[in-house]
Amino acid sequence: MQVTWYGHSAFRIETGNAKILIDPFLTGNPAWDGGWEEAAEGVTHVLLTHGHNDHVGDAVEILKKTGAMLVANFELCSYLVSQGVAEDKINPGNHGGTVDCGGFTTTFVNALHSSSYSSGDGPAVYLGNPAGLVLHFPDDKSLYHMGDTDIFGDMALIQELHQPQIGLVPVGDRFTMGGAVAALACQRYFTFETVIPCHFGSFPIIDQDAQKFVDAMEDAQSKVLLPEKGKPFTL
């Protein structure tokens, strides 16, 4: 599996024939100045955890250009169709559901957050409940993108049901759990092989680094990986 982080919560996952973008906030991302075209090259799937602007990002443009499959909750899929995404390219789901994405599956799990999209013209549009996404691949490691969330006790059930090996974990505080709480979640509820912190260092009002998380994970069995933005790495 090859993974690339683009800052904030945007990741590209490549394994088998799948080239997946999760929460592709690239244009306007203060932590990334490389645009979206290279990140979207050959993409087969776009996965969205929730509808906030800093997670939907360039999804509409990417989906239109690539013809990739959109995997998101029903409300978010419907909204992006209204913005020009092809209706036959959506694969909607919701909490507890698992959808076949062709070569891998995505399961929607809980996240403690909110979800809406603001175009800057009128009130924000409600876009269903936020989710975390668990990806299972037939010949590769399982991966859990937590989305934006706080810690919650039912993370124990996510571990029991899915045993994710890779965790993409928000640590930036204010809008998600902070580093120390995120480390508690990882150590109390999961047996990740590798943990990659995210949702930090982008906007000035959230934590600018992941040091609190790294410090709190010092004695954990999971490996904490801090990738360089835009540089692929292999897991």
Burial zone of 79 (CB within 10 Å; 0-12 exposed, 13-18 middle, 19+ buried): buried
Q: Does a structural domain hold residue 232?
A: no
Return d(Cα 118, Cα 112) in angstroms, integer: 20
Q: Which domain holds residue 144?
A: 2-226
Average pLDDT, the chain: 98
Note the pLDDT of residue 112: 98
Query: In Å, how far are 4, 67, 197, 209 from 62, measured between CA atoms?
Result: 17, 8, 25, 29
Residue 36 lies in a domain: yes
Give me the pLDDT at residue 122, please.
Answer: 87
Instruction: Write out pLDDT tens, residues 123-152.
Output: 999 999 999 999 999 999 999 999 999 999
Q: What is the DSSP letter of 124?
A: P
pLDDT given for residue 17 in this prediction: 97
- Amino acid at the residue 61: E
| pLDDT (0 to 100) of residue 168 | 99
Q: Is 217 helix (H, G, I), strand (E, B) or coil?
A: coil
Would you tell me how many other CB atoms lie within 10 Å of the CB of residue 175? Answer: 17
Domain count, the chain: 1
Within 10 angstroms of residue 218's Cβ, the number of other Cβ atoms is: 8
Supply the pLDDT for residue 224: 98
CA 68 to chain CA centroid, Å, is 17
Three-state DSSP class for residue 78? helix
183, HSE (Cβ side, Cα atoms, 13 Å): 16
Give residues with Cβ within 8 angstroms of 136, minimum separation 6.
Answer: 104, 105, 107, 142, 162
Quote the radius of gyration of the chain (alpha carbons, Å). 16
CATH number, domain containing residue 9:
3.60.15.10
Residue 234 in tokens: 């292999």
Dihedral-angle region of residue 57 (phi above 0 means left; psi in -120 to 50 means alpha; beta otherwise): left
139 in any annotated domain: yes
| Nearest in space to 186 (alpha carbons), one of 166, 207, 162, 161 | 166
166 lies in a domain?
A: yes
Within a domain: 151: yes
Q: Is 234 domain-assigned?
A: no
Q: Is 235 part of any domain? A: no
Dist CA 161 CA 156 (whole Å): 9
Strand 166-170 versus strand 194-198 pairing type = parallel
149 domain residue, yes or no: yes
CA distances from 96 to 77, 104, 161 (A): 17, 16, 11
Low-confidence ranges of the chain (pLDDT < 50): none
